[in-house]
Amino acid sequence: MVGKICGTGSYAPHRVMDNHDLAKIVETSDEWIRERTGIGKRHIIEEETTSYMAGQAALRAVEQSGIDPAEIELIILATSSSETVFPCAACEVQKTIGAVHAAGYDMNAACTGFVLAFNTAQAYISAGICKTVMVIGADSMSNLVDWTDRSTCILFGDGAGAVILRAEEGMPVHMAAHSDGVKGPALTELSRHRKDWDKENDSESYIHMDGQAVFKFAVRKVPEIIEEVLDQAGMRLDEVDHFVLHQANRRIIEAVAKRLKTDISKFPMNLEEYANTSAATVPILLDELNRKDVLKRGEKVMLSGFGAGLTWAACLFEW
């Protein structure tokens, strides 16, 4: 059995910060940001939290699927920015949607998180452990960036996306994942938990990134893992209908398409609207494509995520 997507949902905060708004905070411009990233604006939380956004995306996925939430057996939530350590955000989602029979846990693999969670859900279904699994990617990146650092604050936004997988007969799901901890310092978010009496050592916790190192890593490793999964499946590149990649930077996606010698039209993007929402980028894009009827039953879809760790993963399945 394989997990077929029977419902998708997404949520983005109502507050929108465009590039002109950012230009009032740091030395930048709309033209400068668009040229280097493809980003036009980002959605930023106000009263919302990561688990709230995840819950709203989950509710929309349930509504579209038409299933009873009590049928969901497992909720896997990919996030690196939950507002709580425990209870985990997945359990907050369980409460929100009324999935009374579901187990739930969070997974932290940064921007690769949703694809790894999706692969994990497929493993549960393939093993016969679960028949109905919800997979969510949700992040509040605005809480992690230094809004005075032009190199990072222009890149990120907040949001959540969810899919529901149901066990069905179908084409086997092919997947792969890797990590390289040695190169982890290229993208970090280091945190310290300060004691009340330790005020002298108080320090803020922000994302630190070597942009060039991350770019080189992504444009090399993403094509490699896509080809690895295709070899595993015994398929050719031209048999894949859609490459749904982590939405980090337009230049990265264009470079991946060029290395694979594949038409960029097969690489949908929504960076202009949402920026990089970390684990949420892939499911938000899947929800957009699904609701616009871009994805047709029987088409082959390749997912790929890459990010801090360093981690990267991919998955090939039939829509």
What are 163's two structure tokens?
Answer: 């899919």
Burial readout 162-172 (b: 16 or more C-beta within 10 A, e: otherwise): bbbbbbeeeee
Grouping H, G, I as helix, E, B as strand and the rest as coil, residue 165 is strand
Q: Smallest Cα–Cα separation from 250: which of 218, 217, 205, 280?
A: 218
Active-site annotation holder among 119, 249, 276, 290: 276
For tokens 């590149």, the residue is 237
Query: What is the biggest distance separating any 2 CA atoms in the chain, rounded to whole angstroms?
Result: 61
295, burial (CB in 10 Å: exposed 0-12, middle 13-18, buried 19+): buried
Catalytic residue status for 20: no
Torsion of CA 86, 121, 136, 114, to 10 degrees: 100
What are 17's two structure tokens?
Answer: 């910060």
What does residue 106 show for φ and ψ, rounded to 5 degrees?
-95, 155
Residues 6+ apart with CB under 8 A from 285: 161, 244, 247, 268, 269, 270
Active-site annotation holder among 19, 43, 88, 111: 111
Work out the number of other CB atoms within 10 angstroms of the CB of residue 92.
Answer: 24
Catalytic residue status for 276: yes
DSSP secondary structure string for all residues of 249-280 = -HHHHHHHHHHHT--GGGS---HHHH-B-GGG
Active-site annotation holder among 246, 249, 290, 315: 246
Catalytic residue status for 43: no
Question: Annotated active-site positions, please?
Answer: 111, 246, 276
